Amino acid sequence: MRREIKNLMRSILCVAAVCAAYPSFAADNSCEDENNMVNPALALCSTHVYNVGAVENPSDGGDKEMMKEVVALKTTVMTQQMYKQYEYLESMIKRFKTQLEKAVLTTKLEAAGASSSSSSSSDSSSYQNNDRYVVLSSARNCNNETGGTLAVYECLQGNISAVLNALDDNKVSEAKRQIESDIKIAERWQIVKPSGCNSLSNGPRIRECAYSLSQTITSAKEQYELKYRSPQNNRQY
């Protein structure tokens, strides 16, 4: 990672816009650099006159304006390229964040008894099941749970893990149908459909829905446990 970022920063100046406009201007003197990743024609020197290949400040007004224009163009090119690299790094960080969130969620679900990713890897696009609530082979029909409310919640969380693993395997259609089935079951158990599940048009939206549904179920589970484990309430669940 460190090496990649270092190479990205080194390549920020490697563009050709200013070279095309001022091909005869090459930085020298204080701009000398042995780094072949940087085009010397685009290096922005600390001394303005070096940016136009001269060693003394110009006395002619036209030359001064030309020097200012060259510095401005170099600065513009550098800023544009730095912003592009910033956008790339930001996108990369977002991908890492999504992968980390998915890994944490999967670990929590597995700790709660959900199927592991190894078992879900056996899913296939041709998987057939007569149960209309089960699309993925590692999922379950949570309508069949007889252990009470918490058992249904845990079953739904296990199915969310199966949906996320299916998305990782590019089984978008199967993941969509599975989470749609689970949303219907969740609503029967008084779990309000998250707003993040209003659109399931593609993989990223389905993944966001899975995260939102998991959070909603976790919150409902915590409220249920708090209610029935309260010292003022001795009922069993």
Residue 128 pLDDT: 58
What are the tens digits of pLDDT across the range 156-169? 999 999 999 999 99
Alpha helices for the chain (secondary structure H):
2-10, 17-21, 61-111, 117-120, 149-168, 172-188, 203-228
Nearest Cα to 178, choosing from 109, 226, 125?
A: 125
Report d(CA 129, CA 221) in Å as an integer: 29
**Is the pLDDT score of 14 beyond 90?**
no
**Is the pLDDT score of 135 beyond 60?**
yes
What are the DSSP calls for 77-94, one per residue? HHHHHHHHHHHHHHHHHH
Residue 24 pLDDT: 39
Contact (Cβ atoms closer than 8 angstroms) between residue 160 and residue 179: yes
46: which DSSP letter? S
Confidence of residue 208 (pLDDT cuts 50, 70, 90): very high
Confidence of residue 35 (pLDDT cuts 50, 70, 90): low
Contact (Cβ atoms closer than 8 angstroms) between residue 42 and residue 74: yes
Report d(CA 160, CA 162) in Å as an integer: 5
Those residues with Cβ within 8 angstroms of residue 179's Cβ, 6 or more apart along the chain or in another chain: 159, 160, 163, 197, 200, 206, 209, 210, 213
Confidence of residue 152 (pLDDT cuts 50, 70, 90): very high
What are the tens digits of pLDDT across the range 92-108? 888 788 888 888 888 87
